[in-house]
Amino acid sequence: MSVRVGINGYGTIGKRTAYAILKQDDMEIVGVTKRRPSYEARLAVKQGIPLYVPGEENIPAFEKEDIPVAGVLRDLLQKVDIIVDCTPGGVGETYKPLYEEAGVKAIFQGGEDHSVAGISFNSFANYHESWGAQFSRVVSCNTTGLIRTLYPLDRVFGVEKVFAALVRRGADPGDIKGAPLNAVEPSLKLPTHHGPDVQSIMPWLNIHTMAVKTPTTMMHVHCITADLRRKATDVDILSVWDNVPRIKFVSGRHGIKSSAQIMELARDLNRPRGDFMEIIVWEDGVKVEGGTLYYYQAVHQESDVVPEIIDCIRAMMKLERDPLKSIRKTDRSLGIGK
């Protein structure tokens, strides 16, 4: 029997999650919620996805626009096994009592604190911790990126200490609010929350982070140094990453010198929406000197968490015990991988 999934909040992450669920054979999308009758609401209906609204007060605006509404969130919760909360950061936790009352499992996103679920999720690093769980949280795009490359390194070489400087996109491409137009804005609360967020999955890791927001919509770029416990060469590092899922190499020598060219590559590869769900590492930007590794990676903020959400559903619903099997199944269905 296929697992019945609902999505609360049909924005950047919610619509990509819906698309990814449509591609799975062991889960189905029962409905999504939308607060306002936007073009995205129309597109959901056009794709045959039942549209719900958070509460009765939201219905008249949809009626006025002739967009059919299947019910309110409470109705949707009666029909699902699991809800993926994709509302904006801080909003998800306000819905937790409703999910609890309805007795459905729920996945929260990285905009919520770890405490919302008490478990944070990364497919490769700690799939089993969410096995059968009532609540879990898929960590943010940046945290997912850091864990994808650091966890395998730690397993093979041991990581003594990490420093990461995060050069963050100012806003998502479809977002017309909030980005600095002609400025670089440092996060003044130091060290930034990204280090502790990585520790919600790798509590033993000594990691510190800083971040600046920049006037681009195209990806986050991380500049990372990691002190390794065991000796490694550049080639050893690349070979570890080559053998784990969801890390893709690009090369400046082949003309990919920036996040803009990575996004162009995603479009050239006909990736849906021009998304890149893997973490992108510049293979000619990897250097070990003494015991310290230096590298750059790029994170497609709108999509890297989506395959993790699918795996998290499988773990929480006990659909697949082996994390690697789930990862491979997800990646095949979404056309991502090496």
Residues making contact with ligand NAD (CB under 6 A)? 8-14, 33, 35, 54, 86-89, 91, 109-112, 140-141, 172, 301-302, 305
**141 in catalytic set:** yes
What are the start-end ranges of the E strands in the chain? 3-8, 27-33, 51-53, 71-72, 82-85, 105-108, 120-121, 135-138, 159-169, 185-186, 207-214, 220-228, 247-250, 279-282, 287-289, 292-299
Helix (H, G, I), strand (E, B) or coil at 241: helix
- Least separation, in Å, of the C-beta of 184 and ligand NAD? 19
CB of 183 to ligand NAD, least distance (A): 20
Distance of alpha carbon 213 from alpha carbon 142, whole angstroms: 13
CB of 32 to ligand NAD, least distance (A): 9
User: Which CB sits closer to ligand NAD, 11 or 71?
Assistant: 11
Q: Among residues 54 and 293, whose Cβ is nearest to ligand NAD?
A: 54
| Nearer residue to ligand NAD within complex by CB, 170 or 323 | 170
- In the chain, the amino acid numbered 82 is I
Report residue 134 as tokens: 């009532």
Question: Could you write out the DSSP letters of every residue in 142-195?
Answer: HHHHHHHHHHHHHHHH-EEEEEEEEEEESS-TT--SS--SS--EE--SSS-THH
Residue 37's φ and ψ, nearest 5 degrees, are: -80, 65
What does the alpha-carbon distance between residue 32 and residue 95 come to, in Å, rounded to a whole number? 15
Whichever of 33 and 200 has its CB closer to ligand NAD, that residue is 33
Tokens representing 254 are 């082949």
Closest CB 263 distance from ligand NAD, rounded Å = 14
Task: Give the nearest distance from C-beta 320 to ligand NAD in angstroms.
Answer: 23
Three-state secondary-structure class, residue 88: coil
**Alpha-carbon dihedral sign for residues 240, 139, 100, 45:** negative
Peptide bond into 191 cis (omega under 30): yes
Q: Residues for the chain: how many in total?
A: 338
In whole angstroms, the minimum distance from the beta carbon of 84 to ligand NAD comes to 10
Which of left, alpha, beta for 246 (phi over 0: left; psi -120 to 50: alpha)?
A: left
Catalytic residue among 86, 141, 223, 312: 141
Of all residues in this chain, which one has the CB nearest to ligand NAD in the complex? 11
Residue number with CB closer to ligand NAD (111 or 245): 111
Which residue number, 90 or 158, has a Cβ lying nearer to ligand NAD? 90
Residues involved in catalysis: 141
